[in-house]
Structure 1
């Protein structure tokens, strides 16, 4: 007997005798002398039809092969006379592996996303979320393949950190202190690390160290932000893709971001066509056109100052007024991509006062060599910059923002010993998946969303 995944069975080039299919029952339809079952094992969107004659061993339990039950089917893979399927399994033995009683919550009807979040441990069995997480898996593989093909090394950046990369202060504190007892006055020194420890908001600072020894590196891992936000775009735990490359200037950085996006979208469309079709049909009917636009057009590039001028001249009233020095809001970003240019846009050279301390100061002393990649429907998908490689300028920026230079001693060392120009960016993995699938809520592109007052599963 050969075990076959459902995907492999559906794509078989010839009939096969003696196969085993294992999975979960999606539907069952009984006739007088036989039953039809659809079995799905999560390997693809479609299930495979199983035909079970009344005399088949195990048929006496057929009533227990209800929706959601785990089953093992032994039989032969044969051509199907039915429409819409090339192969079916003619069962020789059926085994009930795990029953699913009537209260099984996933019945043959459409369930709301809100309901499915309440049973996130089961929602992967639905068509929508089964497809979503196969796409998530393929997208992650595409990320690694892209960087490997472009000479980048994968670096595992630390999750526990004593540095605040973004300077925003929205970090989760990690402690071994007994919070049920009075906290000692010198609680930092009494704690496990002898100083304040947090969950990281970014792997960037760590990636820079290895970019300045290995040339090109990237991190791809979980990051955390204690932002009390319940919007559809924010989560407390999310994954970040963060490349960092030595001897890359801002222009190199912008090109890398554009190339990465196009590579991933092309790969997912090739490898997950059936799954993507579900989203174009049921989630966002404009999705295919959006992905075509990103994949096939060169990205427009405009300076922040030029973008502000375009927005100010627009015959549109924005909720957030436009003036030089503001941080662009999603409505501004979408106007630039969907109305002004009708394609992806890279905005660069932002005001220094709205960007992080490590971004390279431009000669005008007003802007930094920062860039954001904006795409239709989403807005910002990538944010990055050329990093400040000049020690004196970096120290001045740290002082201006009131940060403690002692916390960044090793980061400053990189500018003392063999400093070199380098650039990098961050792309939120979940936001990328929202772009690829048309899903509008970040809670539905990550297996177990972490949001304020929500830590289930």
Structure 2
């Protein structure tokens, strides 16, 4: 007999005789009431056991975490809190769970404790909801770009180039770590390595995606990226996923249009399809906020923040205008910012970005035309020779969520910028070829997927929105 998902049973329009459901026991009360969940939905289904006619040995094995198969009739519930329940006719224990050792007890656990049990934390309501939202957002990303005619491109995970020029990359090598071969200069001889050169895990698929955009017009890559940044903040991971579209013939204005439309689409998609999960996460965030001092509480709930993004046009502001606003703001003048804005050229921090969004403009903000010195080499230099055609999208509660730019399409300018940064031009010969053969204006952006999931779920730590977080000193599971 084929089993039915809990979600489908709870959404049934009428009682059904002879159903089978399989899942994991969340709670078992009074030797009679099983709260069963199979991961398909936030809510459990109540299964009513005929304890008088069920062997005592079987009842003892119905413990939190146990996997069971239940056959019975779906009937209208006799108790409050649920529309339907299952009157159990047959019950089989598929997998026992030791109630003394199972960590996920039916009580509130700290997020720190749950991270230590990342292989089991998805059995809680919070992480079940987060991962369903994450899945839907991932699907929405692909659907958006496919509907727009983009080509999905899988860019390399192993690369010989540093797209960001920051050098914070994980090395990939097959050479013996303790005794690598050396060349005549006494340095490691990478010619004897697997790829014949020094290689790393990628920090971005952008450069490779650009080459495909210059043939296919509109492309996007959505894959894992890696950064060896020794940061233990709540916003950084060593392994994360990036969404990176690249579009030929798009200038910065068209790039901003695309990014705004895209991000509103995927958030709306998740709100439509994950209403119960988001309602639950909204209440969870509200409960968390109540524990904070009044001055530290957010003015917006989770659903309020999501609607804030959907209902407001993104305000477009130059970096220069933003600096003037920040310099003259009360928090800056009263030295309430942790990083005081004193002059043009400062690299904005999350507190500055959130001030612009939440206090000054009261809408999502797109900042553009940043100082060239604080942005990557591939961004198009403006005529003032000091700013580049960069853009960042700023959201409430999180700050920057998207970064992008119009790319530098002029060969001579790009070569000079590469030289100024001390990057070996020979390593990027293939990238420069796109400027030699049929160069054209083109743009793109990057969205850190976990940042998006963090925003949509209202979680406070990025380690809680990826199944198994990779951070400094942590590669468990």
1:408 Cα deviation (Å)? 0.6
Which shifted more, 58-67 or 134-143? 58-67
Structure 2 length as normaliser, TM-score?
0.93
2:133 paired with 1:135 = yes
Aligned partner of 2:395 in structure 1 is 375
**SS of 2:339's equivalent?**
coil
Contact in 2 for aligned 1:23/1:41 (Cα 8 Å): yes
Supply the distance in 1 between the matched residues of 2:180 and 2:443 (Cα, whole angstroms).
Answer: 45
Shift of 1:59: 6.3
> Separation in 1 of the partners of 2:429 and 2:324?
40
Q: Tell me how far apart the structure 2 counterparts of residues 366 and 190 of structure 1 sit (CA, whole Å).
A: 42
Unaligned runs of 5+ in 1: none
- List per-residue Cα deviations over 1:194-251 (Å, max 9, x = no partner): 1111000001011111111111011111100000000000010001110110111100
- The equivalent residue for 1:201 is 203
Q: Which moved more, 1:321-330 or 1:445-454?
A: 321-330
Q: Which residue of 2 aligns with 1:261?
A: 263
Matched, 1:396 2:430: no
Confirm or deny: 8 A CA contact 2:157 2:225 kept in the other structure: yes
Aligned equivalents of 2:172, 2:54: Cα separation in 1 = 56
**Partner Cα distance (2:55, 2:167) in 1:** 61
2:298: which partner in 1? none
1:17, distance to aligned residue in structure 2 (A): 2.1
Cα deviation digits, residues 259-305 of structure 1 (max 9, x gap): 11111111111111111112111124611211111110001001011
Q: Which residue does 2:241 correspond to in 1?
A: 239
Classify 1:58/1:264 alpha carbon distance in 2 versus 1 (closer, same or farther; 3 Å).
Answer: farther
- Assess if the C-alpha contact under 8 Å between 2:51 and 2:59 holds in 1: no
Which of 57, 68, 73 is the matching residue for 1:71?
68
SS of the aligned residue for 1:2 comes to coil
CA RMSD of aligned residues (A): 1.2
1:57 Cα deviation (Å)?
A: 6.1
Gaps of 5+ in 2: 290-300
Contact 1:40 1:47 in 2 (8 A): yes
Which residue of 290, 315, 321 maps to 2:340? 321
Offset at residue 338 of structure 1 (A): 0.9
1:297 corresponds to: 312
Moved over 4 A (4+): 55-60
* Corresponding position of 1:280: 282
Contact 2:181 2:192 (8 Å CA) reproduced: no
- Equivalent residues, number: 454
CA deviation profile, 1:288-347 (whole Å, cap 9, x unmatched): 211111110001001011010110111112221222111111111011111110110000
| TM-superposition CA deviations, 1:17-38 (whole Å, max 9, x none) | 222111100011125xxx1101
In the superposition, the TM-score normalised over structure 1's length comes to 0.97
User: Counterparts of 1:157 and 1:4 in 2: how far apart (Å)?
Assistant: 39
Q: Is the 8 A contact 2:71 2:91 kept in 1?
A: yes
Change (3 A) 1:56 1:63: same
2:101 to 103, 112, 122: 103
Give the 3-state SS of the residue equivalent to 2:223 in structure 1: strand
